[in-house]
């Protein structure tokens, strides 16, 4: 059972978090162009954010099976995952929506505001991606683990 739960957890992380990080990273570039690409990237982020709940759910189930639920590396990973989710839900997705609703186009009167919004969104996306990178490292290294890693 542990191997099945771990497999689902890892697959969910790859197949769900991966597309969010790529789509969110590309969004600021395309949001200022008059293109449906930005709307598609926003829909990808929004849709995969909902599916993303599977990652911590199966991660917790795996941790319970392995008996590591109280290990510091796991608790740290959970906190970082919660922070990443909050950044996505409270900052990135609303920022993307504002950019789409504002119809910031390159060369418009609000070009300065559009650039500032895109830069802020790119920074938030970078923070989101770094949080996930740290979680991945913690999952691989697992300080104090008995696997010798």
Over residues 89-137, the pLDDT tens digits come to 999 999 999 999 875 555 555 677 888 888 999 999 999 999 999 999 9
Q: Is the pLDDT of residue 149 over 70?
A: no
Q: Is the pLDDT of residue 61 over 60?
A: yes
- For the stretch 55-64, what's the b/e string if a residue is b when 16 or more beta carbons lie within 10 angstroms of its beta carbon? bbebbebbbe
pLDDT category of residue 148 using cuts at 50, 70 and 90: very low
Q: Which residue has the higher pLDDT, 104 or 75?
A: 75
Q: Is the pLDDT of residue 25 over 80?
A: yes
Over residues 1-15, the pLDDT tens digits come to 889 999 999 999 999
77-86: average pLDDT: 96
Predicted structure pTM score: 0.87
């Amino acid at each position: 059972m542990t191997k099945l739960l771990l497999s689902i957890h890892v697959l969910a992380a790859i197949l769900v978090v991966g597309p969010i990080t790529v789509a969110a990273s590309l969004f600021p570039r395309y949001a200022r162009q008059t293109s449906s690409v930005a709307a598609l990237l926003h829909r990808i982020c929004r849709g995969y954010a909902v599916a993303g709940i599977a990652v911590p759910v199966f991660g917790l189930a795996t941790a319970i099976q392995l008996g590591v639920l109280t290990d510091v590396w796991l608790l740290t990973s959970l906190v970082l995952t919660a922070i990443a989710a909050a950044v996505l839900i409270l900052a990135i997705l609303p920022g993307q929506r504002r950019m789409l609703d504002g119809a910031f186009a390159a060369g418009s009167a609000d070009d300065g505001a559009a650039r500032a919004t895109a830069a802020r969104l790119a920074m938030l996306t970078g923070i989101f991606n770094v949080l996930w990178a740290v979680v991945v490292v913690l999952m691989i290294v697992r300080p104090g683990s008995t696997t010798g890693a």
